[in-house]
Amino acid sequence: MPDVLRLVAIDSVSRNESALAALVFDELRNVEHLVVERVGDNVIARTEGFHAHRILVAGHLDTVPGDPALAVIEGNRLTGLGACDMKGSLAVMLELAKDTAKRAFDVTWVFYAREEIARSESGLLEIAQLRPDLLLADAAIVAEPTGGAVEAGCQGTLRLGVTVQGLRAHTARPFTGRNAIHRLGAIINQVAQYEPRVAIDRSRDEAVTSVRELLGDLIEDEDVLEVLDWAPAAPPSLTHPIIQSLVAASGQPARAKVGWTDVATLVEMGVPATNFGAGDPLLAHRADEFVTEAELDGFATTLRGLLFS
């Protein structure tokens, strides 16, 4: 089993990735075939000039809040904060980045910060803004947990905040006032009952408009509906030959990604991308998340088969 426990033991909750970024940088900086750069708390390691085509493999350093000290290995399973999402895959990435075997492609390894919080703070976006040249590639793999299958594309996400107005009144005459909490209750109930019937494809503005239509007259002129976070969806990119090769190597049929990932960020930059990593995605963010040795070995074997001659 790759040294996942060492990574899990380092606290790297979002915005606190410096120690883990330093470990990754120090581990790769003296690898002869790599050019390594650190951009903030993001580490980018590249092979250069060996091949005509380049694959980018990306994984985030951060975790959701929790206690990394509770990590434990039992048999062939490692349980701990971030084991599944996604320090298991990070450990495999570190091993393969150092591997001196002959490659079929040039490879860019990206270890980035702040994926688990608002997209506006993303370390991958930080690299895209400061050093977009480091993210150029023919195709990309985001090593989110996928159970060893290729999970194509991703869903978009929209997070809204609603502020409604109330009217103060004396408790003896509540009918002269208006309870803002009760108004919010009606809005929450309306959202809870919403059942989308078909897959949709909407722009940011169209999505906001659809929410306004859903809430109708529950939102009044003096109320505020604001966008707190927005991230676009991404197409599946399954027609790209490198991604087709990854699907074949995985031995499993490709499936759709449920949820949002940084595949969307890379596709926005013109890089066809897909999700592929170790671990069960249903365990991500759970207090008892774990990754198994078999999952790590399967991920490593498939990725090695794609990247190396």
Locus of tokens 């290729």 = 150
CA of residue 266 relative to chain centroid, distance:
11
Is 268 catalytic? The answer is: no
Give the dihedral of Cα atoms 7, 11, 14, 20; nearest 10 deg: -50
* C-alpha span between 35 and 210 (Å, rounded): 47
CA-angle at 233, arms to 20 and 111, nearest 5°:
15
Tokens representing 174 are 């509540």
**Which residue among the candidates 62, 106, 116, 280 is catalytic per the annotation?**
62
- 138 has catalytic annotation: no
Please pick, among 17, 41, 85, 115, the residue that the annotation labels catalytic. Answer: 115
CA distance 88 to 208: 37
Q: Which residues face 35 on adjacent strands?
A: 46
How distant, in Å, are the alpha carbons of 162, 182, 192, 194, 203 from that of 188?
10, 10, 6, 10, 23
* Beta-strand runs (E) in 40-149: 42-46, 54-60, 72-74, 77-79, 106-112, 139-142
Sort 276 into a burial class: Cβ within 10 Å, 0-12 / 13-18 / 19+: buried
Q: Which two tokens stand for residue 248?
A: 């074949």
Catalytic positions: 62, 115
